Amino acid sequence: MQNLVSRPLSNPPKHSSYFFSHSVSKTTYDPPFSPISKPPKPKPKPPNPTPNGNPTPTKSSLPFDFRHSYSETDPTLEPIGFREPKRFSPFGPGRLDREWTGTSAPVRDEVDSCLVEEERIRVLGDPLTEEEIEELVEKYRHSDCARQINLGKNGVTHNMLDDIHNHWKRAEAVRIKCLGVPTLDIDNVCFHLEEKSGGKIIYRHINILILYRGRNYDPQNRPVIPLMLWKPYAPIYPKLVKNIADGLTFEETKEMRNRGLHSPALMKLTRNGVYVNVVARVREAFKTEEVIRLDCTHVGTSDCKRIGVKLRDLVPCVPILFKDEQIILWRGKRDQERNSDISDANEKSSGT
């Protein structure tokens, strides 16, 4: 029995490595760990053009003061306060050679209006023929046009000028779709578009505009337009609605407001709608009504006040209440002024 145990086996068992090597030869071997790849070499940083790290201030030859919005602000109206310090320029620190005043960046050098107008006429070149206008209008007036800019409640903004010139690099005209408060005064929008961009409006239908760049426009020599990096905070202006309307007593103002709130709405305005016919309808209504109400549900409080300011200047009229997105407008002391003017004219004619 002992001899049998001590005798070595004639056929020793095969090692597992034998089977493993044969199996590897038949199939693809996938190691449990992939080889470690070397980290990519960091790219060298471009040399800094300014040794001190401060950017070189941009100098622009545009002959007007830079504002966030050109069509929706009144340069003659002075604010009574600011919500941020004047040193916070929306163009960035040290990026513009003009000083930010809180509302605008004024031109530093004197501007010769005659030279500016001559340059604009030179770029526009000869007037377009009717056939050329029809061809451009047919190309850019449709809603599927790729060369389109949307104009919203901020109106003609500063950065929009850069968008216009970017489209003009590859297209002769650009389609502008206007929505919201600026559509109350499309004439003002067209004026600022032509003045600030140097182009010409060749088509206008309700809220659709086509802005032409000119025959002699050179994309390589386009004006330098420094971009605003953020939207500046709106300054604080005087109160729009007074507690007592001019020409009325406190009781009369209160009675006018109650009458307006309980009167049927002249029209209902939608958010970001087209308001091209609002001014005409308000003027027509004031021929028979003394107080009217505009239903601005879902329009927004800020847009309601913008609409009230526009109507005050365009109709003209007196906003006496903004409540629950309702605008109450009073036509003012027109009958008394007309009667006094007629009486003064009669006195002068009788005296002569």
Asked if residue 83 belongs to a domain, the reply is yes
Say if residue 245 is in the same domain as residue 196: no
pLDDT for position 48: 57
> Domain containing 302 — which CATH number?
3.30.110.60
- The answer to whether residues 206 and 84 belong to one domain is yes
DSSP string computed for 330-343: E--SHHHHHHHHHH
| ∠ Cα 192 196 198 (to 5°) | 110
Residues of the chain with confidence (pLDDT) below 70: 1-38, 45-55, 334-352
Q: Are residues 198 and 244 in the same domain?
A: no
Task: Judge if 200 and 286 occupy the same domain.
Answer: no
Give a yes or no: residue 140 inside a domain.
Answer: yes
| Residues 226, 112 share a domain | yes
Q: Is residue 108 part of a domain?
A: yes
Total structural domains in the chain? 2
Residue range of the domain that includes 243: 239-330
Pair 273, 307 in one domain: yes
Would residue 36 count as lying in a domain? no
What is the structure's pLDDT at 111?
85
Assess whether 247 and 225 both reside in one domain: no
pLDDT of the residue at 143? 87
Which of 235, 269, 295 finishes a domain?
Answer: 235
CA angle 248, 253, 257 (to 5 degrees): 150
Task: Establish if 18 belongs to a structural domain.
Answer: no
Judge whether 164 lies within some domain: yes
Let me know whether 99 and 197 are in one domain: yes
Is residue 173 domain-shared with residue 313, that is, in the same domain? no
- The Cα 232–Cα 217 span in angstroms is 32
Write down which residue in 172, 207, 235 finishes a domain.
235
Angle 278-190-97 from CA coordinates, rounded to 5°: 125
82 and 175 together in one domain: yes
Asked whether residue 161 falls in the same domain as residue 262, the answer is no
- 252 shares a domain with 165: no
